[in-house]
Structure 1
């Protein structure tokens, strides 16, 4: 027969363990050795005081999620997670720090009811305007001479971009493509031979996308989530074919027009400074003009308090602060 006092402690420990099963709480209580210690740790007078304060102030930290929608101009706009306070994780984290009068807030994300997937087959031109993030898209269909410099700048600025690879380029330059992946950048699909997709047959559309995707997977061991049609040319059938290949069609918000020799680095920088906003997808190519402009383009975005990430980062419903936290873990 288990003594009543021991049984009570066990029940208390089990109850608290159920509360603190979430990874945030577990990570903060690193010094706890067993369930009984957890129960004691979380049920002290100080823990109760902090918990009462957290529960009282939690409503001030609540942010409502935003549903994905189809905009009249921008078409598919992803949703944005809301957030709420994780009470027990906040209590645990606050107890672990030296100043226990300063609440160490820990949040849980609240997904929207409607996501990008729920919008059906629509083109994407930008992220959610309430999410302070942007992405640099690099369409790669010719040359390799400027890629090392671009990768070096991105590394120096601690920025991850999304490179959309033309299949015929990839077949000729697999080692250069591997360096892009090794640097931590995202890979997208840019068809195989750079055709105007709306002007080819359905069979050709399928071949252009699937052939490139097969090459990407075999050469780089990654899978594309995003399809960028060459020259931004598409019609409804292109969207449907890409969707059948399990990809969404992505265009851009701002085009640097860096492929034109008349576009100077100064013009490109001014365009970004004037028009960049939360959710912007910035289109570039590996040119000498881009290399010259890229450091200032990146800094112009950062000056606006906008975090640069991959296309997946920008189009995800995940909050920017949570994406940053994941990368630090």
Structure 2
């Protein structure tokens, strides 16, 4: 696709998501103090194609669907994404979307390793397919990998069959490279709909959004990203950043600045684990 056509398509998608956006009640995910401890959550593939870079547009989560439905032995079908966590002490979760990207993801992994911290990576299938070694490294170093669809489309403008394909292909790639099928998914642009919740649950995944958006995709500077994380830090916060989808060098530098500060301030940076039925 030509560059001007791609930009036009992205603007149309972003406009559609903005028109659909609605505020809602925050979900809550309970965490244990131990990163390895389980967590109880709150109440015919198409032919391969050349990967496209995910869009940089970001919107707030679409929520407001009401309480979840639950069935014994099954993942709950939620009507809103989980937005924050709850655990002992000053617990926070760092998340990175759109990767893996060999230009930035290795540096983020290096920093997390240096401070013995685990994070969540919501990957796009087309990026994961091109960089399976990075998913293998995430598995080796104890990080959690979530599903961010195959090609980063706006789910609210897709039919159920296409949404399933986007999710299912990505689940397969994650299982192949990371070692397990993902238990978490995040809708591109933060644009959720009923089909996404239902299909995610059918595939055994919980929807996780965020509490603090660093807006790093706007390239505000590493210091601004750092300040947003430090100002937003609080028990239960889920931080949204990106390791792909554009120039993420500022995100890499910011992580090196705010991570040691969060640890010095007594925050426990961990990852969620769900109880298995």
- Same fold? TM cut 0.5: yes
Q: Which residue of 2 aligns with 1:6?
A: none
- Structure 2: tracts of 5 or more residues without a match: 1-22, 44-66, 70-77
Is the 1:130–1:279 Cα contact (8 Å) retained in structure 2?
Answer: no
Shift of 1:180: 2.0
* Aligned mates of 1:80, 1:295 — CA distance in 2: 25
Of structures 1 and 2, the larger Rg is shown by: 1
Shift of 1:142: 6.3
Q: Which residue of 1 aligns with 2:233?
A: 276
Is the 1:129–1:279 Cα contact (8 Å) retained in structure 2?
Answer: yes
Task: Summarize the alignment of residues 226-245 of structure 1 with structure 2, pairs less than 5 Å apart.
Answer: 226-245=184-203
Is 1:204 equivalent to 2:162 in the alignment? yes
Q: 1:141 to 1:197 in 2, by over 3 A?
A: farther
The match for 2:29 among 74, 78, 81 is 78
Greater helix share, 1 or 2?
1
Per the alignment, in what secondary structure is the counterpart of residue 216 of structure 2? coil
Which structure ranks higher in relative contact order (CA pairs < 8 Å, sequence separation ≥ 6)?
2
Shift of 1:301: 2.1
Q: 1:266 to 1:282 in 2, by over 3 A?
A: same
Q: 1:231 to 1:142 in 2, by over 3 A?
A: farther
* Aligned mates of 1:307, 1:182 — CA distance in 2: 21
Deviation string, structure 1 residues 259-309 (Cα, Å, up to 9, x no partner): 222x11110111111111111111111210011110222123224322001
Is the 1:272–1:300 Cα contact (8 Å) retained in structure 2?
Answer: no
Q: Which residue of 1 aligns with 2:90?
A: 132
Q: 1:159 to 1:74 in 2, by over 3 A?
A: farther
Aligned length: 214
* Aligned mates of 2:221, 2:110 — CA distance in 1: 21
Q: Which residue of 2 aligns with 1:189?
A: 147
* Aligned mates of 1:194, 1:80 — CA distance in 2: 28
What TM-score results when the alignment is normalised by the length of structure 2? 0.70
Is the 1:141–1:194 Cα contact (8 Å) retained in structure 2?
Answer: no
Per the alignment, in what secondary structure is the counterpart of residue 218 of structure 2? coil
Q: Which residue of 1 aligns with 2:42?
A: 116
Question: Runs ≥4 in structure 1, deviation > 6 angstroms?
Answer: none
* Aligned mates of 2:111, 2:127 — CA distance in 1: 22
* Aligned mates of 1:136, 1:80 — CA distance in 2: 14
Shift of 1:149: 1.3
Shift of 1:119: 4.3
